[in-house]
Amino acid sequence: MKKTLPVIGMACSACSANVENKLRSIAGVHEATVNLVGRTATIDFDPSQVSLQELKNQVSDIGYDMVIDQERSVEEIEAREWKLLKRKTIMAWVLAAMVMCLAMGWVNAGGRDAANQLALIISLASMILCGKQFYVNAFRQLRHKGASMDTLVALSTGIAFTFSTYNTFWGEVAWGARGIAWHTYFDAVTMIIAFVLTGRMLEEKAKDSTASSLRQLMGMSPKTARVVAKKQPVEGDEAGEMVPISTIEKGDLLEVRAGEKIPVDGEVTWASSFMTDDAAYVDESMITGEPTPAAKRVGDKVLAGTIPSQGRLRLRAREVGEATALAQIIAIVQQSQNSKAPVHRLVDKAASVFVPAVAAAALLTFVLWLAIAGFDALPRAILSMVSVLVVACPCAMGLATPTALMVGMGKAAERQILIKDATALEMLRKVDALVTDKTGTLTIPNQSVVDFTHADGMSLDEREALKPNAREAITALKKMGVEVHLLSGDKEEAVRYWAKQAGIEHYQSGVMPADKEQLVKRLQCEGKTVAMMGDGINDTQALALADVSIAIGTGTDVAMDVAQVTLMGNDLLSVPAAVELSRSTVKMIWQNLFWAFVYNLVCLPLAAGVLHLFGINFQITPMWAAGLMALSSVSVVLNSLRLKYKTI
């Protein structure tokens, strides 16, 4: 059994890695993939060996929450979590401002000792009231030999608070008597908590935007339906009551009026509109991309989520719930956004060792400061260690890939392009050869050579047409460096004619399914990355062999099952759009990874105080380290969101 379940409480790539590793370690779980940005876990498990409740308990044990019951609304949970996070962030800034006023001497608190003691109390309040989850989660993860951003925050603030508390009561005795200047860092403690919470709040808002396309799709699913009769039809025009969609069964008779969403996939039993007595007009653009409402008459199929724009109709429910076409589209988009591209898997491996590596780097910084400058440099060594722990958070690196993939997959869905997995999205950018079927793929089905005498003796019927924007699509692909091949089992003159109409130089006629497969294989042997586009059973061999397989949504179920990419509409400009989207998405991923790497490359040495070795008195303090860490994560997400507004 495979389930995609929401996971609450993940903040960084180390968090998602912890959840993923925990799930994979459970007996009965075959595979588990966790999406940080989508906040979901896709789990393939054996329900006879492990239950959903056991999975939830295991995840809860390491500090996260998994939603397994439908009674709990994920939206409500996340809204509640967001409000709590917002309140904590505001409180953290208020407390941080109070400590800053004491640290800077802006408030007369009755002397240095009194100011430090008051700052200690305020900092402790901030740690308990605002940052409690950092310490609880870090402890839980430590018990299971795990680590995350919470570990770094807990370590850095804990060390700074402990050292500052020591200095508050014994600083003058320990350091002052030896002529060493001593300080407390309660301002750093409160500022780190405030900045980290602010960063998380901004990340959550930005991550919501990356998932907006999926939410729009899910919002197309109606919540209620108007029942005319259960199982059996009734005579007359009187409609029944509105009931929850969950109560609808196959065979129920439903009525839908203009402006209402069709609740299930079904077959029209009666239709009427002011234009005609035997048809209603349904807007199917959200599914097929076709802008013109389609006439629906008795016997025609209608899909859940589409909307009658004129008239009203009755339908017999044929597919309900998760079996509807809309539900399957949503499932494909969820699956694709939860899948991981090869580059993402590489980043995951790096992120899994990043937190321990940062902790080791912080400890090394501490030891080197003492070794180079002696025990008198203990305050500086601790400050540097805390700065390294804070500034090197793996959030930016962990968010680099999934945010770009989420936006890319969502944008593809908006263009009626369904991409089944991240590997296909990444591979599309490399395509430099496209093999396409003719009938039903390049041309409208059932067009044939019948009666038009051409100058060279060909007989062609001018009634024919290519699919919308077919020639423009081929031209765009050739400009992108893609070599296009047309294959068909049709006659030579027909294939030559259509190839010329579409602007395709390479074509073959009279081919069998095995011939299509052989061409794909030959092009691959020439070193090309091949995409195969088709719509029928005769295309499945070539589709299965191709590097990227593209099916037409109006084709056979077999072709769509094999294909990695499905075009829901008839506009073939979707093909170059998919290639361009792939190139833009992967480019965005590498941009994000580059800047995340540069951020750590620059900030880590500055936080460790390397410049002091060269006589330059500059160092990133813990407070600024927290601000830079938050800024890096938010900037990566915002950079990915630029893809959302790119014209494809």
Active site residues: 437
Sequence-separated (6 or more) residues with CB below 8 Å from residue 2: 42, 43, 44, 45
* Angstrom distances, CA of residue 447 to CA of 43, 135, 451, 465, 504: 45, 68, 12, 8, 18
Q: Helix (H, G, I), strand (E, B), or coil: what is residue 102?
A: helix
Burial class of 192 by CB neighbour count within 10 A (0 to 12, 13 to 18, 19+): buried
Token output for 171: 């600083």
Please report how many Cα atoms fall inside a 13 Å half-sphere around the Cα of residue 444, on the Cβ side: 9
**Alpha carbons 557 and 289: distance in angstroms, whole number:** 19
The beta strands (E) that lie in 93-161 are given as: none
**Alpha carbons 632 and 399: distance in angstroms, whole number:** 10
* Angstrom distances, CA of residue 523 to CA of 449, 485, 515: 30, 10, 12
**Alpha carbons 491 and 48: distance in angstroms, whole number:** 56
**Alpha carbons 114 and 116: distance in angstroms, whole number:** 5
Sequence-separated (6 or more) residues with CB below 8 Å from residue 441: 467, 533, 534, 535, 539, 552, 555
Token output for 454: 């051409």
**Alpha carbons 127 and 463: distance in angstroms, whole number:** 75
Token output for 170: 């014994």
Q: Interhelix angle for 186-210 vs 112-129, to 10°?
A: 30
**Alpha carbons 387 and 218: distance in angstroms, whole number:** 43
Sequence-separated (6 or more) residues with CB below 8 Å from residue 455: none
Burial class of 183 by CB neighbour count within 10 A (0 to 12, 13 to 18, 19+): middle
Q: Which of 77, 331, 330, 94 is nearest to 204 (CA)?
A: 77
Burial class of 409 by CB neighbour count within 10 A (0 to 12, 13 to 18, 19+): buried
**Alpha carbons 233 and 217: distance in angstroms, whole number:** 31
**Alpha carbons 349 and 70: distance in angstroms, whole number:** 33
Spatial contact of 643 and 585, defined as CB atoms under 8 Å apart: yes
Token output for 135: 């310490």
**Alpha carbons 498 and 257: distance in angstroms, whole number:** 42
**Alpha carbons 182 and 109: distance in angstroms, whole number:** 19
Burial class of 513 by CB neighbour count within 10 A (0 to 12, 13 to 18, 19+): middle
